[in-house]
Amino acid sequence: MRVAFVGAGPITTGAANILIRRRVDVVIIEKDKGRIDALAEILDCGFIHGDGSKPAMLREAGPQRTDVLCCLTDNDQSNILASLVGRSLGFRRIITQIEDTEFEHVCLELGLTDLIIPHRQAAQALADLAFGTLPEDFANFFKNGARLFSFAVREEDAGTVEDLPLPKHCMAICIYRYDKMLLPTKAFQLELGDEVVLLAHEDSMRELRERWAVAPAAADSDETAAS
């Protein structure tokens, strides 16, 4: 397995250290040469000096031989741009970090569904721990190919939950509307901007990403703009 990181902050450093111990091939793209020199003393991985939102830098990371691209800089716009460029270059899976939740729906509308929002996830974990509801191993709840997928409702998705063109082995389990969590029935009427959370089999993920991602032409224009 191979994982590429854009940005060499604390989350990248911690994750890279764990992955390296698990014998995962890791490469980190970072603009700060001093940061690279410091990390090279403690991390046994590859480094690329440059701007990870640039196509040339991401190509150097090897899209076709990389399993996951993690965009984890301290700038939301850079992470979103790097994610879009990475997708246009063919990275198999992309994880995007954002701090400003105003970008969440933008990411979902662009098809960037694997999001990290650190302060929200830390707060939720802390609250769950306080109430004793955080499972010891959350992954145990997702066995035999079960996955979660979310997207923002667009105009073409207007209608009921039952009207959604979902693949087999896939169902809506939750709707987020503004600051409310709603449990949908088949007749639940969707509104523009709703965030729909699906429980799906991993075999359906490609079809879901293709259905709720930007058109290829738009992705190409992002790469051109980044150049």
* Per-residue pLDDT at 140: 62
Q: How many CB atoms lie within 10 A of CB 166?
A: 19
Rg value, the chain, Cα: 18
CB 27 within 8 A of CB 48: yes
The share of the chain scoring above pLDDT 90, in percent, equals 60
pLDDT in tens, 27-71: 999 999 999 999 999 999 999 999 999 999 999 999 999 999 999
pLDDT in tens, 171-186: 999 999 887 899 999 9
* Per-residue pLDDT at 58: 97
Distance CA 94, CA 87 (A): 7
Distance CA 63, CA 78 (A): 18
Nearest to 201 by CA among 139, 159, 147: 147
According to DSSP, residue 7 is labeled S
Domains and CATH numbers, the chain: 2-122 (3.40.50.720), 144-211 (3.30.70.1450)
